[in-house]
Chains A and B, each alone.
Chain A
Amino acid sequence: MQKVVVGMSGGVDSSVAAYLLKKQGYDVIGVTMQIWQDEDVCSISENGGCCGLGAVEDSRRVASVLDIPHYVMNFRKEFKESVIDYFVSEYVMARTPNPCIACNAFVKWEALLARSLSIGASYIATGHYASIARLENGRYAIKNSVTLAKDQTYALYNLTQYQLEHTLMPVGAYSKDEIRNIANELKLPVANKPDSQEICFVANNDYAAFIKEYLEDEDNRRIIEEKRALYMKNMESSGYGFTPGNFVDTRGNILGRHQGLAHYTIGQRKGLNLALGRPVFVKKLDPKTNEVVIGDAEDVFTDRCYVNNLNFMAIKDLEDEMVVNAKIRYSHKGARCTIKRTAADEILCVFDEPQRAVTPGQAAVFYKDDYVVGGGTII
């Protein structure tokens, strides 16, 4: 019997995933990842995150109902290094990170997969609403699930072929309602738990407060400083994103004072406290001058962006131009664009229609026929 490690968050989806695999005849082992255990964070994780102590207890109860073994694996070091340090350093460099993508690529599908294979498993499985298919060209690619309401493929674009080959996503064949019904029929103790929301390690979604507190620790500050020095120079003026500076217009005229770059994202309108008699938006964050550039609605639209840190999924490589559907953030509906190679690890992405708030640090994920073609990080 083939062994599968199911990453259990204590939520409905991963619980039912474990059940479905057991029914399919796999030797199922439940594993809950322990990733971040700050006292305050524990309490928020219980309410929504996937990996807090509440997750451990809930998963244990589910595992006992399903009669499968359950273990807790510690990935705190991996999570801190690959997700938290990345998250904070991106904000410090005036970019907008996506921590879920980093967690998937480096914690779930790297550390968890490795440890699962080491204990004799052939696959890891998750409760994602997506499916993995083998294409005619022999490559594995992720496809949107039957329920388009909640796309979960965006944060998975970064998986390698090896990782996909060793992954099962059993709930992808069902709708959310069907999964809830199964959970209810099984009388799983988590059947009515709400879906997880927001960033699991940030309390009250106040990421600025989180970053500030994180940087109070000397070791953390040193690590972030090293990361920043690696990518960007001459940023002393912006501090760590908490040094106040000027709001300027596109011609450089000073419009007012801002609280520090870390408090803003591209396209933001609310909370700027600028009385200019018309709605204005954040067009750009400049860590070199510590300025927040302000523009009108049309100024935050752009028809192109460059993307690096590439990963290809449905295709081996991008040889010619390709017309794809691109999503530039998790909640983006997707837009038609043409992608073409401009450097060894760089793609230019030209949209048919200009897109609003193309944000450095976010991922651009390319789709063709609902399959993930690949993606990268917006520069």
Chain B
Amino acid sequence: MEKKIYLDNAATTKTKPEVVEAMLPYFSELYGNPSSVYEFASQNKKALDESRRTIANAIGAESTEIYFTGGGTEADNWALIATAEAYENKGKHIITSKIEHHAVLHTCEYLQKRGYEVTYVDVDENGVVKLDQLEKAIRPTTVLISIMFANNEIGTIQPIKEIGAIAKKHKVLFHTDAVQAFGQLNIDVDDLGIDMLSASAHKLNGPKGIGFLYIRQGIKIRSLIHGGAQERGRRAGTENVPYAVGFGKAVELAMNSMEERIKKETELRDYLIKRVLSEIPYTRLNGHRTKRLPNNANFSFQFIEGESLLIMLDMNNICASSGSACTSGSLDPSHVLLSIGLPHEIAHGSLRLTLSEENTIEEIDYTIDKIKETVEKLRNMSPLYEDFVRRRY
């Protein structure tokens, strides 16, 4: 197949042409600074507000509760660090899970170095957070529970409503990193008991470099970024109007197409999972069989090196991944796969495929054929390798 088959939509997605089109006027025509007084700038302010309202509606929040950030990572950093600082008098304890994104995990490590205590709750073999352990971990000094909505690697959706209820019962704030879930699943912050939520535009066909943090009315956390009084004094820096407009457009499109998209992607995903598991021996599906993101499939193929599989798929114009993309593009065994109990060797032979509504059944069939072929080839090579490295002649 000459055409590229893109199956890494959890890493990032294509910016939709409609989104780009919506953004374009705000670069060279309507370029005013929304904080300025003149009429020219007020159009930008209006565009910003509209986008904010679209996003707020999408999660059942108020416009005043949505704060634009430079992306999902910034939103996670802000939620954790600012909450820790603001509620220091109550205590210095945070609860999170072992399978969070590094934007949360590394921020927790940063806080630990500054004297905060963090409990990392286990997950079961499907990657679902252990609720009893989570509840038991709550102390009088706990100020925040941060559990991701759905996992970026194995796609498992967490019991967010139950976690929200536990948090409420113990009067602890609840933050969720919804970067993978927003735009893919229905989210209502009131219904689910979410106090703070991070999301990012480029995971739902919006531009890179913009995200938001939802902060429930009444939560007193301060700025992470200091400067001007933008974003109601909570996030300084001139608003990124074109990107905010693009984000709003992407959310609008995602919300309109959600039902249909979930149906289509789930069907394609289940077809993919079924064929791979039935046609390739010594293969397992990672993550929950049903409580998973509609577009996520994650497999482990025993006896092979995931790195070689990825490279060979790339040579066949198939873009896939083994987990989250680290800066160097190199693979260490994923903390998520280790946390669900996979041994190192098996975690090494993993492959994540994340679909979009644009993928076709032909593409999936071609991909499965290539995976099958490659896994077989790699498995056939490994005894040969064993033999040659030890042999001196």
Interface of A toward B, CB cutoff 8 Å: 34, 53, 56, 69, 71-74, 76, 110, 114-115, 117-120, 160-162, 311, 316
B391 contact from A72, A114, A120, A162, Cβ within 8 A: A162
Please measure, in the bound complex, the distance between the C-alpha atom of A73 and the C-alpha atom of B328, giving whole angstroms. Answer: 10
- Residue of B305, B307, B312, B393 touching A120 (CB-CB under 8 A): B312
10 A-B pairs with CB atoms under 8 Å apart are A34-B330, A71-B307, A71-B314, A73-B307, A117-B381, A118-B381, A118-B382, A119-B308, A160-B391, A161-B392
Q: How far in angstroms is the closest Cβ of chain B from A376? A: 12
Dominant secondary structure of chain B at its interface with chain A: helix
The count of chain B contact residues (Cβ–Cβ below 8 Å) is 23
Contact flags B359-393 to A (C-beta < 8 A → 1, else 0): 00000000000000000011001100100110111
Residues of B within 8 A of A76 (CB): 332
Contact A115 B305 (CB under 8 A): yes
Q: Min CB distance, B371 to chain A, in Å?
A: 14
Chain B residues near A110: list those with CB within 8 A: 389
Residue from the list B307, B327, B332, B388 in contact with A115, Cβ < 8 A: B307
B335 → chain A closest CB, angstroms: 15
Across-interface contacts of B381 in A (CB, < 8 A) = 114, 117-118
**Nearest-neighbor residue (CB-CB) of B384 within chain A:** A117
Is B311 interfacial (CB 8 A cutoff)? yes
| B315 close to chain A: CB less than 8 A | yes
**Inter-chain contact A160/B392, CB cutoff 8 Å:** yes
Q: Contact: A118 with B305, CB < 8 Å?
A: yes
Contacts of B17 in A (CB 8 A): none
* A53 and B308 in contact, given A118-B378, A160-B393, A162-B388 (Cβ under 8 angstroms): no
Contacts of B307 in A (CB 8 A): 71, 73-74, 115
Measured between alpha carbons, how far is A160 from B387 in the docked complex, in Å?
12
9 shortest A-B CB distances, which residue pairs? A72-B330, A34-B330, A114-B385, A74-B330, A72-B329, A118-B308, A118-B381, A162-B388, A110-B389
- 1/0 per residue, CB under 8 A from A, across B183-212: the answer is 000000000000000000000000000000
A72 CB contacts on chain B under 8 angstroms: 328-330
Contact A161 B393 (CB under 8 A): yes
Residue of A nearest to B305 (CB): A115
Nearest CB in chain B to that of A310: its residue: B392
One of A69, A115, A117, A316 near B314 (C-beta < 8 A): A69
Chain A residues contacting B315 (CB-CB under 8 Å) are 69, 119-120
How many angstroms from the CA of A53 to the CA of B329 in the assembled complex?
Answer: 10
Write the chain B residue with the least CB distance to A31.
Answer: B311
B331 within 8 A of A: yes
Cα A311 to Cα B391 with chains together (Å):
11
How far apart are the CA atoms of A11 and B150 in the complex, in Å?
42
Of A34, A114, A119, the contact of B312 (CB 8 Å cutoff): A119
Query: How far does the Cβ of B322 sit from chain A's closest Cβ, in whole Å?
Result: 10
Is B331 within 8 A of A74, CB to CB? yes
How far in angstroms is the closest Cβ of chain A from B88? 28
A118-B308, A118-B381, A119-B315 as given contacts; A311 in contact with B329, CB under 8 Å: no
Contact A73 B330 (CB under 8 A): yes
Shortest beta-carbon distance, B345 to chain A, in Å? 10
> Which B residues are CB-close (under 8 A) to A120?
312, 315
A72 to B392, CA, bound (A): 29
Which of B312, B315, B382 has the most C-beta atoms of chain A within 10 angstroms of its own C-beta?
B315
Q: Establish whether residues A53 and B392, one from each chain, have CB atoms under 8 Å apart when the complex forms.
A: no
Chain B residues near A53: list those with CB within 8 A: 327-328
Q: Are B328 and A56 in contact (CB under 8 A)?
A: yes
Min distance, Cβ B389 to any Cβ of chain A, angstroms: 5
Whether B389 lies near A114 (C-beta < 8 A) is yes
What separation, in Å, do the CA atoms of A56 and B223 have in the docked complex?
Answer: 35
Chain B residue numbers with a CB within 8 Å of A118 are: 305, 308, 377-378, 381-382, 385
Chain B residues in 8 Å Cβ range of A119 = 308, 311-312, 315
Q: Hey, which chain B residues are within 8 Å of A114, CB to CB?
A: 381, 385, 389
Query: Which residues of chain B from 302 to 325 have a CB within 8 Å of any chain A CB?
Result: 305, 307-308, 311-312, 314-315
A71 to B313, CA, bound (A): 13
| A residues near B382, Cβ cutoff 8 Å | 118
Q: Name which residue of chain A comes closest to B392, CB basis.
A: A160
The docked-state distance in angstroms from the alpha carbon of A185 to that of B332 is 37
Query: Quick one: which of B330, B382, B393 has the most chain A CB within 10 A?
Result: B330
On whether A71 and B311 interact (CB within 8 A), knowing A160-B392, A162-B388, A311-B392, the answer reads: yes
Min C-beta distance of B110 to chain A, whole Å: 14
**A162 to B393 Cα, complex, angstroms:** 8
Bound form: Cα–Cα A115–B305 in Å: 8
Chain A residue numbers with a CB within 8 Å of B377 are 118
| A residues near B389, Cβ cutoff 8 Å | 110, 114, 160
Which chain B residues border A71 with CB–CB below 8 Å?
A: 307, 311, 314, 329
Against A, the Cβ 8 Å flags (1 = close, 0 = not) of B22-45 are: 000000000000000000000000
Q: Counting chain B CB atoms within 10 Å of each CB, which of A74, A115, A161 scores highest?
A: A74
Residue of B nearest to A34 (CB): B330
A67 to chain B, nearest CB (A): 15
A73 CB contacts on chain B under 8 angstroms: 307, 330
With both chains docked as a complex, state the minimum distance between the C-beta of B302 and any C-beta of chain A, in angstroms: 15
Residues of B within 8 A of A56 (CB): 328-330
The distance in angstroms between the C-alpha atoms of A53 and B391, with both chains bound, is 33
Knowing A53-B327, A160-B392 are in contact, say whether A117-B332 is a contact too (CB < 8 A): no
